[in-house]
Structure formats: structure tokens, C-alpha cells
């Protein structure tokens, strides 16, 4: 039998340091490994003993692309532990801020990093040469996302205007209203990009995923909801650890998430979309229909389309919030010290992001747990790779390598996020 | 658009020598120059290119040269080698931003890139020797060569 090794030592167009290893013996797949060698960063450990009010700002440093996911998850969990609520105006502003993160993160990945796979181009520079209007549109959209984060959060990377209980200062009504025309342009631009991307030649691949996401009776979930799944799971956020667990494997510096029964599951745009299709706006559903998508999308390569539909939704939703914006007063609620435990969960661009903290009577963190989306998706990424390799054994090595990288990029994996974790075991013999 | 030269110091101040760019930008801003740090992704750099006809980028390099080595690249005249620069988010960093801008016709009239070789890109604050000395020399040269708040960017540095 002929042994074939498909290996990518440093994956391109993903965040962080990862690798891919596939070993074939003839038609038999002997190993498929998505390796993460980005060093662990111990956030959960070094937060112990810190003031719980620092948790949002500290955890936002886990990622420069999706800091809002960490700020919001940590804020929810700490606010629950300290026993304070906020106001509808604060929650609306938080949702609008989160829309900014979805826009900039999704556009960067879909248009600049993932689209080249479908066009047979090496990178976004090549797209800029062959289709400059596409890249100009994407860059303007991405700037719009950054602008939302700057106006509401104070800056686009690691925002500084957020805090436990709300915001340090509420943005002026005029500044929020001024965003509406560009948001309206953004919704249309995202729709156009979705339809342009719908013309890509998508690999034929379908899988019956276990889709896990937040679910909400009224809203397409971003900051609020219960945890639901396509197989009937419907639990409060606080029950996360009763249904999901994390495991260490030697090939990855990121813990791998699985259901308690050991099965893989999928979080991210496909899961959100499928579990909450009815909560999308009519205009976004129309875009999906024109792009050839039904209410369930099981082809992981079409995640690029769902991301762009979510960009359209985020622009529409931010414009809607901006139109009825009232500056929150007070801008924040004060949290007195008390012992407690809290859970937070939001939809990061890449999927479910869970936070859990236990706090002592002086407001110090006793225990912290953060489960980011890429950790949860790792087993499913490896399962996808196995399926894709099995279906394409006849491909030449270079083509198969390309298809495998493309498969990983379907997830927009954020390896930096996934390696935030707690435990490092050193065996000395 | 301002006619003043814009200095953009690229990097993450919490990753030791990667913080060189923000370190230089802070020093230049303290002397009244139009200088800003940039810690976001490379796509955001394109916004800076529209802010002035004369843009100067300062970034740490990791090319294997001796620590403290200064490089000067004229982006209008040459392609930017991606392998020089440490900074990158989702693999879209300085070089990708410059080359994308070139393809789209968005380069400013003048775009100079200064790179200083770093050696320690681990977590932590502060630059490792001899990077601060090299950075200080660059700051002094930029100011001494006419990089004043109202002056023009030196052509020959």
C-alpha cells in the first residue's frame, strides 16, 4: 500500500498558530489531526484573586478580533454573580456594539480570507487585482464594523467604554443616529456580496451536524437566549456544564469540547442560522433564498454565505437600534460586593462563547471558566476533515491539501481564543 | 485629509518587542507630530492610508537579522516582503495591507516603512535591548531630518 502524508505546518488565513496532519495508507485514513501549537495563555488561572469587575477587560485580551464576545460574556456572568441587572437601553446598546464585531469579523474572514479558496487565488491581494470592487466593498463594510465599535466602545480593538453594569459613558444620540445611512448601505452591500459569493463552485458536502447555539423566542440570538440544539437540547445557560465538557488531547494546546456523551457538535453561523432561521428578518431570508439556501444549511463550505447574511442582519439590526436609540440613563449600574456565582453566554462570530465565574464576598474571582467557540468546534473540524479526505482520495496531494485547508477555514477558527485555557501538566521523570 | 505626515506605529505593546511601533508613535506624538498607534488587523491600516498623502509606518521585524537592525522600505518603489513583519492578525498584516492597497490604487503618494528587528515577542511589557536604542535613534533621526509638526518627511533617511 502507498502511504500518503498531507501536511500543512502553518495554516494560513486563520488566527493563531495551527497545523494539519493527515496520514493515508492506500485508501485507509490512518490519522487526521488538526494540531494547535499556539502556546496556552492561562487566562482562567491568572484571573483567580483579581477583582471580578476586571474580568471583562482582562478576558477581552484573549482576542483582538472578537473582544466584545469576551466583554459581554464576562459582564453577564459577573453581573449575575453580583446580583445586579441593567436596563433595556443598555442591553440594546450592547447588542448594537456586538453587531459591529460581527460585521468586521465576518467580513474579514468571508471576503478577505475565505473567498480566495473558492476563487483559486492565494489571498485577498489577488482578489484585489482581479475584482477590486469586491475588495473595496468588503473594506468599507469592515470599516463600518470598526466604526460601530469605536463610537460605542471607544475604540475598535479591545474597547474601553464597557464595564460591569453597562457603559462608562453613553454615546450621544446624534453620533448613533449618524451611523444609520452607512448601516443601510452596509445591509445592501452585504446582500450583494452574498449573492456574488453564491456563484462560487461549492464542493458537494453535506453532514447531519448537531447544531448548538443560543436560541431566543423573538430575536436572532447575539447577546441573549437559552442554549438550544437541532436535536432538541433546550437548557438555561447555567446548565452548560451538565451537557458539555472539555478534554485535553496531546496534539492540541486548546481543550476540545464535546457533548457529555462524547459526541462532537457544531457552533457558529450554520448552527445559529439553522436554529434561528425564523428570527432572521424577511429581507435576510429573501437574500438566503436568492443565494440558494433553505432554512437548514448542512454544507459547511456554504458557511461563507451564512456569514454574509449575518452581516446583512447585523447592519439591519444596528440600524434598527440606532433609529430608536435613547442614551441609557444611568449609563451603568453599580455592583456592590457579594459572594456569588454567575454564567454568561453570547454568540461570538464563531459561535457559542460561555463564561462562568465564582466570586468571594469581597468581589474577588475564586474560579473562572471560559469555553470559546473554536475549542468546541475542534472535534467537528477533525470529523469534517476525515469526511472530506475520504470523499476526495483521488485528488492529487496539492489539491487535497488545499481542500483540507479550505475545510478548516470553513470554521474561521480562532486559535488564539482556543488557547486561553487553564491547565498545563508537566510530567517530570 | 491632512497634509501633515502621518506616523503609524504598528504592534502590540503587551508582546515585548512587538510594541516597538506604538513605543515610537507615542514618542513622536509627545513631540507634537501626527502619530498614532495601530494594534488592529491589517485591513484597518488602509484607513490610515487615506488620512494623509505622506504616511510613515513603523513596525517590528522578525527576519533573522541582528536585533536592532533598521530597515527602510519605500512602498511606492518596491513590494513589501511579508516574511519581514511579525505583526499579523488572521494572516492579514502590514505587507498584505500595503499590497492590497497597491492593487486597489489606494496607496498614499508617499509611503515609507521603517522596520526594526526585534528578538523577544513573548508576552510582557517593555522592549528588549538593543531595540530601545535603535528606536530612539530612529526617533531622533526622524525629528532631526525635518519630521517636525509642520515640516516635511525626510526623503533620504
- pLDDT at residue A414, rounded to an integer: 75
Burial (CB count <10 Å: 0-12, 13-18, 19+), residue A204: exposed
Chain A residues whose C-beta is within 8 A of a chain B C-beta are 12-15, 41, 61, 64-65, 108-109, 112-113, 123-125, 128-129, 132, 135-136, 139, 142-143, 146, 156-158
Residue B68 has pLDDT above 80, yes or no: yes
- pLDDT at residue A65, rounded to an integer: 79
Q: List chain A pLDDT tens, one digit each, 429 residues.
A: 577 776 766 655 556 667 788 888 888 888 888 877 666 678 888 899 999 999 999 988 887 778 999 999 999 999 999 999 999 999 999 999 999 999 999 999 899 889 988 998 888 888 999 999 999 999 999 999 999 999 999 987 788 999 999 999 999 999 999 999 999 999 999 999 999 999 999 999 999 999 999 999 999 999 999 999 999 999 999 999 999 998 888 877 778 899 999 999 999 999 999 999 999 999 999 999 999 999 999 999 999 999 999 999 999 999 999 999 999 999 999 988 999 999 999 999 999 999 999 999 999 999 999 999 988 999 999 999 999 999 998 888 888 888 888 898 898 887 665 555 433 222 223
Q: For residue A80, give the H/E element and its range.
A: helix A67-82
Distance CA B86, CA B93 (A): 8
Whether residue B70 is contained in a domain is answered as yes
Distance CA A35, CA A400 (A): 18
Q: Which residues of A touch B92 (CB under 8 A)?
A: 13, 108, 112-113, 124
Q: Which residues of B touch A129 (CB under 8 A)?
A: 103
Question: Which residues, including other chains, have CB under 8 Å from residue A212's CB and lie 6 or more apart?
Answer: A227, A228, A229, A230, A233, A265, A266, A267, A271, A275, A351, A352, A376
A303-323 and A180-197 helices, crossing angle to 10°: 170
- pLDDT at residue A103, rounded to an integer: 97
Domain tally, chain B: 1
Q: What is the 3-state secondary structure (H, E, C) of B92-134?
A: EEHHHHHHHHHHHCCCCCEEEEEEEECCCCCCECCCCCCHHHH
Q: If we measure between CA atoms, which residue out of A293, A246, A245, A292 comes closest to residue A269? A: A293
pLDDT in tens, B33-42: 999 998 867 7
Whether residue B65 is contained in a domain is answered as yes
Whether residue B91 is contained in a domain is answered as yes
CB nearest to A64's CB, from B40, B99, B104 = B40
Distance CA A274, CA A281 (A): 14
For residue B139, what are the domain limits? 6-144
Chain A nearest CA to B104, separation (Å): 6
Q: Which residues of B touch A135 (CB under 8 A)?
A: 100, 103-104
- pLDDT at residue B39, rounded to an integer: 80
Q: Does B14 touch chain A (CB under 8 A)?
A: yes
Domain harbouring B22, CATH code: 3.40.50.1450
Distance CA A181, CA A354 (A): 34
How remote is the C-alpha of A80 from its chain's centroid?
23
- pLDDT at residue B113, rounded to an integer: 94
How remote is the C-alpha of A57 from its chain's centroid?
18
pLDDT in tens, B6-15: 999 998 888 8
Cβ within 8 Å, pair A146-B40 = yes
Distance CA A226, CA A236 (A): 5
In sequence order, what DSSP letters do the residues of chain B get, joined into one string? --SS-EEEEES-TTBGGGGHHHHHHHHHHHTT--EEEE-S-GGGHHHHHTT-SEEEEEEEE-SSSPTT-EEEEETTTSPPPGGGB--EETTEEHHHHHHHHHHHT---SEEEEEEEE-S--SSBSSPPTTHHHHHHHHHHHHHHTT-STTSPPPS--
Cell of A9: 505546518
Looking at chain B from residue 43 to 62, which residues have their Cβ under 8 Å from any Cβ of chain A? 43-44, 46-47
- pLDDT at residue A4, rounded to an integer: 76
Between A7-11, B94-98, B100-104, the lowest mean confidence (pLDDT) is in A7-11
Residue in the structure block whose three cell numbers are 457529555: A260
Q: Which of A18, A57, A125 to mutate to test the interface with B (most CBs of B within 10 A)?
A: A125
* Angle, alpha carbons B39-A142-A60 (nearest 5°): 45
How remote is the C-alpha of B146 from its chain's centroid?
18
Q: Mean pLDDT, to the nearest integer, of B142-155?
A: 53
Per DSSP bridges, beta strands A18-25 and B54-61 are unpaired
Q: What residue ranges do the domains of chain A occupy?
A: 43-418
- pLDDT at residue B145, rounded to an integer: 66
Whole-model pTM over 0.90: no
Whether residue B126 is contained in a domain is answered as yes
Q: Residue B31 — φ and ψ, nearest 5°?
A: -95, 10
- A43-418 is classed CATH 1.20.1510.10: no
In sequence order, what DSSP letters do the residues of A244-278 get, joined into one string? EEEE--TTBSSPEEEETTS---B-SHHHHHHHHGG
Cβ within 8 Å, pair B92-A108 = yes
Long-range contacts of A361-367 (CB under 8 A, 24+ apart): A361/A337, A362/A337, A363/A51, A363/A52, A363/A53, A363/A82, A363/A335, A363/A337, A363/A338, A364/A49, A364/A50, A364/A51, A364/A52, A365/A47, A365/A48, A365/A49, A365/A50, A365/A51, A365/A52, A365/A55, A366/A48, A367/A48
In sequence order, what DSSP letters do the residues of A110-173 get, joined into one string? IIIIIHHHHHT-SSHHHHHHH-HHHHHHHHHHHHHHHHHHHHHHSSSSS-SSEETTEESSPPPH
- pLDDT at residue A252, rounded to an integer: 78
Q: Which of A128, A155, A350 to mutate to test the interface with B (most CBs of B within 10 A)?
A: A128
Q: Which residues of A touch B91 (CB under 8 A)?
A: 12-14, 113
A169 in Cβ contact with A161 (< 8 Å): yes
- pLDDT at residue B122, rounded to an integer: 82
Other CB atoms closer than 10 Å to residue B119's CB: what's the count? 16
Q: If we measure between CA atoms, which residue out of A222, A228, A199 comes closest to residue A317? A: A222
Whether residue B20 is contained in a domain is answered as yes
Cβ within 8 Å, pair B44-A12 = no
Is it true that the peptide bond before B130 is cis, omega within 30 degrees of 0? yes
- pLDDT at residue A10, rounded to an integer: 61
Whether residue B18 is contained in a domain is answered as yes
Cell of A414: 480562532
Distance CA A136, CA A141 (A): 9
Residue B86 has pLDDT above 60, yes or no: no
A100 in Cβ contact with A147 (< 8 Å): yes
Residue B88 has pLDDT above 60, yes or no: no
Whether residue B42 is contained in a domain is answered as yes
Whether residue B152 is contained in a domain is answered as no
Q: For residue A315, give the H/E element and its range.
A: helix A303-323
Q: Does B96 touch chain A (CB under 8 A)?
A: yes
pLDDT tier for residue B154 given thresholds of 50, 70 and 90: very low
A80 in Cβ contact with A118 (< 8 Å): no
In the sheet that holds A234-235, the strands lie side by side as: A212-215, A226-229, A234-235
How remote is the C-alpha of A86 from its chain's centroid?
24
- pLDDT at residue B93, rounded to an integer: 79
A180-197 and A282-290 helices, crossing angle to 10°: 20
Find the length of chain A.
Answer: 429
Cβ within 8 Å, pair B90-A108 = yes
pLDDT tier for residue B114 given thresholds of 50, 70 and 90: very high
Amino acid at each position: 500500500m502507498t502511504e500518503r502524508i498531507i501536511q500543512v505546518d502553518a495554516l494560513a488565513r486563520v488566527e493563531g498558530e495551527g497545523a494539519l496532519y493527515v496520514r493515508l495508507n492506500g485508501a485507509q485514513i490512518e490519522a487526521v489531526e488538526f494540531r494547535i501549537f499556539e502556546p496556552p495563555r492561562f487566562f482562567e488561572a491568572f484571573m483567580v484573586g483579581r477583582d471580578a469587575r476586571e474580568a471583562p477587560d482582562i478576558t477581552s485580551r484573549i482576542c483582538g478580533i472578537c473582544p466584545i464576545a469576551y466583554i459581554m460574556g464576562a459582564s453577564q456572568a459577573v453581573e449575575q454573580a453580583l446580583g445586579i441587572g441593567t436596563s433595556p437601553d443598555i442591553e440594546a446598546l450592547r447588542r448594537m456594539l456586538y453587531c459591529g464585531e460581527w460585521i468586521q469579523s465576518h467580513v474579514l474572514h468571508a471576503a478577505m480570507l475565505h473567498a480566495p479558496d473558492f476563487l483559486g487565488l492565494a489571498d485577498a491581494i489577488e482578489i484585489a487585482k482581479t475584482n477590486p470592487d469586491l475588495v473595496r466593498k468588503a473594506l468599507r463594510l469592515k470599516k463600518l464594523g470598526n466604526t460601530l465599535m469605536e463610537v460605542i466602545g471607544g475604540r475598535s480593538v479591545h474597547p474601553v467604554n464597557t464595564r460591569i453594569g453597562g457603559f462608562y459613558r453613553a454615546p450621544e444620540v446624534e453620533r448613533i443616529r449618524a451611523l444609520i445611512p452607512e448601516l443601510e448601505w452596509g445591509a445592501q452591500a452585504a446582500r450583494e456580496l452574498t449573492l456574488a459569493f453564491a456563484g462560487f463552485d461549492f464542493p458537494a458536502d453535506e453532514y447531519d451536524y448537531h447544531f448548538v447555539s443560543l436560541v431566543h423566542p423573538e430575536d436572532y440570538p447575539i447577546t441573549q437566549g437559552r442554549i438550544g440544539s437541532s436535536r432538541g437540547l433546550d437548557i438555561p445557560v447555567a446548565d452548560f456544564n451538565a451537557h458539555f465538557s472539555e478534554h485535553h488531547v496531546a496534539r492540541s494546546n486548546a481543550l476540545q469540547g464535546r457533548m457529555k456523551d462524547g459526541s462532537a457538535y457544531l457552533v457558529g453561523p450554520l448552527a445559529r442560522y439553522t436554529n434561528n432561521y425564523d428570527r432572521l428578518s424577511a429581507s435576510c431570508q429573501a437574500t438566503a433564498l436568492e443565494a440558494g439556501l433553505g432554512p437548514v444549511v448542512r454544507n459547511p463550505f456554504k458557511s461563507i454565505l451564512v456569514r454574509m447574511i449575518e452581516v446583512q442582519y447585523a447592519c439591519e439590526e444596528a440600524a434598527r437600534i440606532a433609529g430608536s436609540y435613547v442614551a441609557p440613563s444611568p449609563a451603568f449600574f453599580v455592583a456592590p460586593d457579594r459572594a456569588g456565582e454567575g454564567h454568561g453566554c453570547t454568540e461570538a462570530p464563531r459561535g457559542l462563547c460561555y463564561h462562568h465565574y465564582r466570586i468571594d464576598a469581597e468581589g474577588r474571582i475564586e474560579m473562572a471558566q471560559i469555553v470559546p467557540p473554536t475549542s468546541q468546534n475542534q472535534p467537528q473540524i477533525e470529523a469534517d476533515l476525515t469526511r472530506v479526505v475520504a470523499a476526495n482520495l483521488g485528488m492529487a496531494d496539492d489539491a487535497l491539501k488545499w481542500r483540507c485547508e479550505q475545510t478548516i477555514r470553513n470554521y474561521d477558527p480562532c486559535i488564539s481564543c482556543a488557547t486561553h485555557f487553564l491547565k498545563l501538566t508537566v510530567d517530570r521523570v | 485629509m491632512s497634509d501633515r505626515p502621518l506616523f503609524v506605529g504598528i504592534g502590540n505593546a503587551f508582546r515585548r518587542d512587538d510594541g516597538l511601533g506604538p513605543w515610537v508613535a507615542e514618542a513622536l506624538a509627545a513631540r507634537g507630530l501626527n502619530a498614532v498607534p495601530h494594534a488592529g488587523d491589517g485591513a484597518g491600516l488602509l484607513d490610515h492610508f487615506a488620512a494623509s498623502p505622506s504616511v510613515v509606518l513603523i513596525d517590528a521585524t522578525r527576519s533573522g537579522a541582528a536585533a536592532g537592525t533598521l530597515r527602510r522600505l519605500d512602498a511606492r518603489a518596491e513590494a513589501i516582503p511579508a516574511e519581514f513583519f511579525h505583526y499579523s492578525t488572521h494572516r492579514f498584516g502590514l505587507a498584505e495591507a500595503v499590497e492590497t492597497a497597491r492593487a486597489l490604487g489606494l496607496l498614499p503618494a508617499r509611503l515609507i516603512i521603517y522596520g526594526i528587528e526585534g528578538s523577544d515577542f513573548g508576552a510582557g511589557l517593555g522592549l528588549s535591548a538593543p531595540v530601545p536604542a535603535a528606536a530612539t535613534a530612529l526617533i531622533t533621526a526622524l525629528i532631526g531630518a525635518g519630521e517636525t509638526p509642520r515640516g516635511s518627511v525626510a526623503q533620504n533617511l
